[in-house]
Chain A
Amino acid sequence: MGKLLRLNMTDRTATLQDLPDKYRYLGGRGLTSTLVHDEVDPLCHPLGPNNKLVLAPGIVTGTSAPTSARISAGAKSPLTGGIKESNAGSAFAPAVADLGIRAIVVEGQPQEKGWWLAYVTWDGNAPKVEFLPADEYAGQDLYDVFPRLFERFGKVSIAGIGVAGEFLYANSGLCYEDQSGRPARYSGRGGLGAVMGSKGLKFIVVDRKGAPGVPLADKELFEQGRKKLTDALMTHDITKPKGALNTYGTAVLINIMNEAGGLPTRNFASGRFEGAARISGEALFEGNKERLGRELYNHACSPGCIIRCSNTWHRPDGTEHVSCQEYESVWALGANCGIDSLDVTGELIRLCNAYGLDTIEMGCTLAVAMEGGLLNFGDGQKAIELMHEIGKGTPVGRILGSGTATAARVLGVTRAPVVKGQSMPAYEPRAVKGIGMVYATGPMGADHTQGYTIAPEILGVSGKVDQFDRDKAALARGFLEATAFIDSTGHCLFIAFAILDIASGFEGLVEECNGVLGTHWTMEDVGRIGKEILTRERAFNRAAGLTAEHDRMPEFMKLEKLPPHNVVWDVSDMALDSVWEGY
């Protein structure tokens, strides 16, 4: 059944409990959101003693399921004031799962100053935890700290915070190691680094040596499912070897979104950026080819990933600059800031990794700072200088570390592209209205990963398919539900690209879960389980003071026509509220 590991930071004690029976079929986001809903006072201060940070591997994490090495992190968000789940791909995820830990709950708050790390090992029978002082790692660049941790502890996995989390910035993320040990994988959104920082915890270091691994209830069924999903991923043009993602990474979307007039440019003033092609996935591929003298295909972020979409950008002299330049990061720190150089976006991304910051929120904050006059759009050098101020915690740095909405308020910028206080990602809602509906209504705030796929039974029944034209709200609801399910499995969301087209892949996903848990879920359970998770998340948000009035777009998007299509946000409040029909 697995264990709940509680790390109490008030007295630095660790408690291992059997996972309560009511949670036995939960994992990933399903488990983090349920625990936050059940145990966290929705009215608590997110940086106070009553918030909790929950880390949970997914249902199939730790097995041989492809792309399943993902960990969900959840809490009350210091950025949105509502519930937050943010997941990441890293060996950290299966390391936790291998120890039989279904969730780590970080709770309480130390009374004295000082930084700690929790060192988790297998003692032969159970996970063992030691709390060790971590002051020697505070205030430093994570690219310097991670190698020292590996040197000290050996082959371990790390989850932790950079200076951003130490400063309690709302822009701070949780950082984990990639396959080369770089501090480059993130639970980025929503300021979860600040929650960990508010509890005096700098790192969780996990050594899986000797750990028992994840048990399977039905090995044959699991294998059957695994094979179906693997086949789908290996076949589909987006996810297959040397396919779209393995060749160009997610930044292959830059040229597409730009051509579509939906690439937010210069703080969401336009949907097309004249420099977009220079910061695209194709430019990354060609640039690396020129600088290395050979073609470089992308790599896996975590064990068992067969999609391999992560890139490494190189300097003109052929040395490594940063891993990786993903679509969202390149857009936020590039097009949205009017910057068209991969060397500049590369450095800005590297600094986000070094300091422990969410690249999306950081890019949107810098764009607001540009509109607010702290620097000019396109001034990459000044942007880099400001990143260092953020890292040092100067007064301006602290303002910029607090997120897009706060920076806009301080600088008198009305054009703050946020929902529930979280900045929008790389799809302009006025040009792509369906995604806008997800930004507005989803429990996480403006978030592009919460509405990623839809359960196949919605497609199969011809009556329901007619809904697409008339009822985008119903479609949005279907997307939100199915995605909540996938977020609970431990799989990378990018399986959605393949399984939305290849039904056997979706079947395989459900069979994998049944094989691990011993359940008998069908496709219909996908929507049901998603709905249960969303219901809890919405209940938490409501109790935290977030109402239907928060499921809305910023005013400027209703008034300003976005070039090149010259469209405004005109989806009615009634249509938005009907996303939650039946809830």
Chain B
Amino acid sequence: MLGKEVKGGTIQFECEPMETIHVEVWLYGPLARYAGEQSHGSYAELHLDLPAGSTMHHLLERLGLPPEEKGITFINGNLAALPGLEADREVVLHDGDRVGISHRKSMWPFQYRFGAGQTPQLRETFRQRQDRGIHHAYTKIEKEVENG
């Protein structure tokens, strides 16, 4: 920050508006390779600067992570997306957020997430479904699920 001298000898500082946000990103299993050299093999912990206003979509682009590999996703410990229910695409990320992205062979069945936190976007997505999000699979066997 640069200060400029004003009347009376005080220094007035002008802060730049925040143009970047800093996010912590955890990638699990095979997704660790999208962290390049920072991969620990079975996971990666990244600290990234993104432009303010970035969404999850922008984060994925920045990582080069293909949507078909993205699995269960968390934002600040709240469930944000399940494969087939990507309610997080347009969620805006904020400075200090922690994002966790797991691979397609992970799992979080209902009995283990019964009453756990969700993002508002996912909560709304579940609310609009007749099954209220009790299922685990929302992808290729979606037809069976809806008939079930």
CA distance A244 to B104 in the complex (A): 8
Query: Which B residues, 97 to 137, have Cβ-Cβ distances below 8 Å to chain A?
Result: 100, 102-117, 127, 130-132, 134-137
Could you tell me if B106 and A433 are in contact, using CB atoms closer than 8 angstroms?
Answer: no
Residues of chain B lying within 8 A (CB to CB) of residue A501: 135-137, 141, 144-145, 148
Query: Which A residues, 233 to 271, have Cβ-Cβ distances below 8 Å to chain B?
Result: 235-238, 243-245, 247-248, 252-253, 255-257, 259-262, 271
Residues of chain A lying within 8 A (CB to CB) of residue B134: 454, 459, 468, 500
Q: Min CB distance, A523 to chain B, in Å?
A: 11
Could you tell me if B141 and A432 are in contact, using CB atoms closer than 8 angstroms?
Answer: no
Q: Min CB distance, B122 to chain A, in Å?
A: 13
A456-B148, A501-B135 as given contacts; A259 in contact with B141, CB under 8 Å:
no
Residue of B nearest to A432 (CB): B116
Could you tell me if A435 and B74 are in contact, using CB atoms closer than 8 angstroms?
Answer: no
**Residue B51 CB within 8 A of the other chain:** no
Query: Which A residues, 391 to 438, have Cβ-Cβ distances below 8 Å to chain B?
Result: 427, 431-438
Stretch from B11-19, B35-43, B88-96 contacting the other chain: B35-43
Residues of chain B lying within 8 A (CB to CB) of residue A252: 105-107
A-B residue pairs, 9 tightest by C-beta = A434-B114, A503-B148, A434-B115, A433-B115, A259-B100, A261-B77, A277-B43, A282-B42, A286-B42
Q: C-beta contact mask, B54-78 vs A, less than 8 Å → 1, else 0?
A: 0000000000000000001010111
Instruction: Tell me the interface secondary structure of chain B in the complex.
Output: loop
Q: Min CB distance, A238 to chain B, in Å?
A: 5
Could you tell me if B130 and A462 are in contact, using CB atoms closer than 8 angstroms?
Answer: yes
A238-B107, A248-B105 as given contacts; A282 in contact with B77, CB under 8 Å:
no
Could you tell me if B111 and A260 are in contact, using CB atoms closer than 8 angstroms?
Answer: no
Query: Which A residues, 544 to 573, have Cβ-Cβ distances below 8 Å to chain B?
Result: 564-565
**Residue A469 CB within 8 A of the other chain:** yes
A256-B108, A501-B144 as given contacts; A435 in contact with B114, CB under 8 Å:
yes
Could you tell me if A262 and B141 are in contact, using CB atoms closer than 8 angstroms?
Answer: no
Instruction: Tell me the interface secondary structure of chain A in the complex.
Output: helix
Query: Which A residues, 493 to 509, have Cβ-Cβ distances below 8 Å to chain B?
Result: 496-497, 500-504
Interface residues on A, range: 35 or more
**Residue B147 CB within 8 A of the other chain:** yes
**Residue A283 CB within 8 A of the other chain:** yes
Could you tell me if A465 and B106 are in contact, using CB atoms closer than 8 angstroms?
Answer: no
Interface residues of A (CB under 8 A from B): 235-238, 243-245, 247-248, 252-253, 255-257, 259-262, 271-272, 277, 280, 282-283, 285-287, 290, 427, 431-438, 448, 451-454, 456, 459-460, 462, 465, 468-469, 472, 475-476, 479, 496-497, 500-504, 564-565
Could you tell me if B116 and A244 are in contact, using CB atoms closer than 8 angstroms?
Answer: no
Could you tell me if B137 and A435 are in contact, using CB atoms closer than 8 angstroms?
Answer: no
Could you tell me if B111 and A496 are in contact, using CB atoms closer than 8 angstroms?
Answer: yes
Which among A235, A252, A287 has the greatest number of chain B C-beta atoms within 10 A? A252
Could you tell me if B144 and A256 are in contact, using CB atoms closer than 8 angstroms?
Answer: no
Residues of chain B lying within 8 A (CB to CB) of residue A286: 41-42
CA distance A504 to B145 in the complex (A): 10
Could you tell me if A497 and B107 are in contact, using CB atoms closer than 8 angstroms?
Answer: yes
Could you tell me if B112 and A435 are in contact, using CB atoms closer than 8 angstroms?
Answer: yes
Residues of chain A lying within 8 A (CB to CB) of residue B111: 435, 451-453, 479, 496
CA distance A146 to B49 in the complex (A): 57
Q: List 28 A-B contacts (CB under 8 A).
A: A236-B137, A237-B105, A238-B136, A243-B105, A244-B106, A244-B107, A247-B105, A252-B106, A259-B26, A259-B77, A259-B100, A260-B117, A277-B28, A277-B40, A280-B28, A280-B43, A282-B103, A285-B29, A434-B116, A448-B112, A459-B148, A468-B134, A469-B127, A472-B114, A500-B135, A502-B141, A503-B148, A504-B148
Residue of B nearest to A257 (CB): B112
Q: Min CB distance, A48 to chain B, in Å?
A: 36
Could you tell me if B42 and A277 are in contact, using CB atoms closer than 8 angstroms?
Answer: yes
CA distance A286 to B127 in the complex (A): 38
Q: Min CB distance, A297 to chain B, in Å?
A: 11
**Residue B87 CB within 8 A of the other chain:** no
Residues of chain B lying within 8 A (CB to CB) of residue A459: 131, 134, 148
**Residue B81 CB within 8 A of the other chain:** no
Residue of B nearest to A483 (CB): B111
Could you tell me if A432 and B114 are in contact, using CB atoms closer than 8 angstroms?
Answer: yes
CA distance A404 to B79 in the complex (A): 31
A238-B136, A277-B40, A459-B134 as given contacts; A500 in contact with B110, CB under 8 Å:
yes
Query: Which B residues, 30 to 52, have Cβ-Cβ distances below 8 Å to chain A?
Result: 40-43, 45
Could you tell me if A260 and B113 are in contact, using CB atoms closer than 8 angstroms?
Answer: yes
Residue of B nearest to A468 (CB): B132
CA distance A503 to B115 in the complex (A): 23
CA distance A286 to B44 in the complex (A): 13
CA distance A247 to B104 in the complex (A): 11
Could you tell me if A500 and B109 are in contact, using CB atoms closer than 8 angstroms?
Answer: yes
Of B42, B102, B109, which contacts A238 at CB under 8 A? B109
